[in-house]
Amino acid sequence: MKIDFPGGKKVYSTYKGFTIQTDQAKEEGGDGSAPEPYDVFLSSIGTCAGVYVLYFCQERNIDPSGIRMRLQFDRNEDKNLTEAIRIHIDLPPSFPPKYERAVIKTAGLCTVKRNILNPPEFKISAEIREN
């Protein structure tokens, strides 16, 4: 993964041929042209859980197009951290009731969530490179 600083408060991440653009809000000195990095992090939780729900449905020939997911976040403003994340899955009337508990369990298998619960060790280094 490569991180670049294209100007202003923008920080871009390039990985596996894709670039994720971030910026800071105007109140923070940015242009507000892209999500803030923490917003991308929170979004990764929802999209990861969503992929698991999608796979669950595809394996059972359930049409996922009527499913919606909502995430709500409880923030501790003093610590500037999220303390609770609630994931709600809105199922359409056509969703088989016998799979309701299973789809909830499946959403909880998200790899991003599991990495939060079992955090990696961070090792940060720096060096001045020759031009």
Residue 120, pLDDT score: 96
**Are residues 45 and 29 located together in one domain of the fold?**
no
* Of 42, 33, 28, nearest in space to 12 by CA: 33
96 found inside a domain: yes
125 found inside a domain: no
d(CA 27, CA 48): 29
Please name the residue that has the structure tokens 């871009």.
12
Q: What is the mean pLDDT of residues 1-23?
A: 98
pTM given for the model = 0.89
129 found inside a domain: no
130 found inside a domain: no
In 3-state terms, what secondary structure has residue 4?
A: strand
Q: What is the mean pLDDT of residues 99-116?
A: 97
**Are residues 86 and 46 located together in one domain of the fold?**
yes
Contact present, 11 and 32 (Cβ < 8 Å):
no
127 found inside a domain: no
For residue 58, report the phi and psi dihedrals to the nearest 5 degrees: -60, -40
HSE of 35, CA atoms in CB hemisphere, 13 A: 11
- Assess whether pLDDT exceeds 90 at residue 103: yes
92 found inside a domain: yes
**Are residues 65 and 87 located together in one domain of the fold?**
yes
**Residues in a beta bridge with 10:** 7
**Are residues 19 and 41 located together in one domain of the fold?**
no
d(CA 106, CA 3): 32
Q: Domains in the chain: how many in total? A: 2
What domain range is 108 assigned to?
36-119
Q: What is the mean pLDDT of residues 3-25?
A: 98
**Are residues 71 and 11 located together in one domain of the fold?**
no
**Are residues 56 and 19 located together in one domain of the fold?**
no
Q: What is the mean pLDDT of residues 80-84?
A: 94
Choose between 71 and 131: higher pLDDT.
Answer: 71
pLDDT in tens, 43-79: 999 999 999 999 999 999 999 999 999 999 999 999 9
- Assess whether pLDDT exceeds 90 at residue 131: no
74 found inside a domain: yes
